[in-house]
Amino acid sequence: MEEREPTLSIGDNNLELPMVPALQGYSGIDVSTLRGSQGVVTYDPGFANTASAQSAITYVDGAAGTLTHRGYAIEELANSCSFLEVAYLLLFGNLPNKMELEQWQDSMKRHSLLNEELKRFFNAFPKRAHPMAILSSATNAISTFYEEYHDPHDEDAIVESAQRLLAKMPTIAAWSYKKSTGFPYIYPQNNLTYVENFLHMMFALPTEEYHVDPVITKALNVLLILHADHGQNCSTATVRFVGSSQANLFASVAAGMNALWGPLHGGANQKVIEMLSDIVNDPTATTESYIARAKDKNDSFRLMGFGHRVYTNYDPRARILKKFADDVLDRVKGDDPLLKVAEELEQAALSDEYFASRNLYPNVDFYSGIIFRALGFPIRMFTVLFAIGRLPGWIANWKEMNEDPATRIARPRQVYIGETSRQFVPLHQR
């Protein structure tokens, strides 16, 4: 039977609206002609019910609690791939063969150095600067060295700028941390892998030899893969939004980083650890009192690391991380009192009617911080680690948007509710 187009009735008008069919999940209703034909616009705060793009990169099934990239289950990618393989998959649509992977890894090594002029840039920040601010500023700043790659419709320029951004991100991230410690910046080394290199630049000192721990490398590789992409989340939508004005890749990604920094998005991993530490360090605090605060509508406190716009089921990334946390702690650190409190909080929340009725489960940020901590990362670097992980997703979405002939500059409408016509009063009479 032929599927009928949906009909919208406004007053006496019946308007047929075209469907935009999805291969998985919700199909869309194309409302782009609504204003012109009916004189109304759609209203959807937070775009909770609005598809802003057709995308073939990532599919999140919120009800089932599953996540796939280019059709591959996240569990399989996290188990079997390197982060660079997943980055290649997101950007180019297929997993690389051996030769493609070697070339891809080589290109990362070739471009991992930062221009020496940028050192002065890092030095200009105050020591207490949050590394996320340095990260996004430096990402914007490196656009000044690559103006020849700014054209978003030049295929070669897109690949060149994507490679440079991916290759330099671990260096920028590690240097943003070194800045806060006052220790010398450590240069990338071409005998190390992408993840090893980052760990080396983060933790090595010029005065002694540093051996990258394979357990830590493996764990960080999995963590980066788990953050690699997640559909039209706030930062990715920001990258697309900014990029829709034909802003270059560096500028668009820098904007996405600023969106990620917020505590409701990637900044949540830092907030989770602060929350768990508060519970552990305050003898009067209990998991029950924190659950009660999260439920209290007169208290702005939220249980950090809980809830998600898309998942009405357990976040598959959190499921992997929860298991992984035990394993990593066993191998590198032994016990962490924060893990015990996190598990207690999760138990208490999952058996509470408030959280159950709103489908609030742990999200990726609930357990990731405990693992980052066990791996030796300072808490203010957690969102930076999320950003390194999410970078391939941002680039892939920016690239897909620029390749899509349907792309137009993002320019939403508004429903105006302000003053209408007012009599102007000159300054001396006000």
Binding site for ligand CMC (CB under 6 A): 46, 233, 264-266, 268, 294, 302-309, 358, 360, 363-365
The residue from 69, 227, 308, 336 that is catalytic is 308
Our CB check for ligand CMC shows the closer of 263 and 378 to be 263
Count of alpha carbons within 13 angstroms of residue 346, beta-carbon side: 19
Tracing tokens 């330099």 back to the chain, one arrives at 168
Query: Looking at the DSSP assignment, which residues form a beta bridge with residue 20?
Result: 28
Q: Which of 166, 159, 170 is nearest to 108 (CA)?
A: 166
Report CA-CA distances (Å) from 20 to 15, 34, 52, 115, 291.
Answer: 16, 15, 12, 46, 41
Strand order in the sheet with 72-73: 58-61, 66-69, 72-73
CA separation, residue 149 to residues 112, 161, 251 (Å) = 17, 6, 12
Query: How far is it, in rounded angstroms, from Cα 180 to Cα 128?
Result: 6
Q: How far is the CB of 293 from ligand CMC (least distance, A)?
A: 9
153 counts as catalytic: no
Residue 32 CA: distances (Å) to CA of 38, 39, 41, 215: 11, 12, 9, 51
Q: 230 an active-site residue?
A: no
CB of 361 to ligand CMC, least distance (A): 10
Write down the number of H helices and E strands in the chain. 18, 7
- Active site positions, annotated: 308, 365
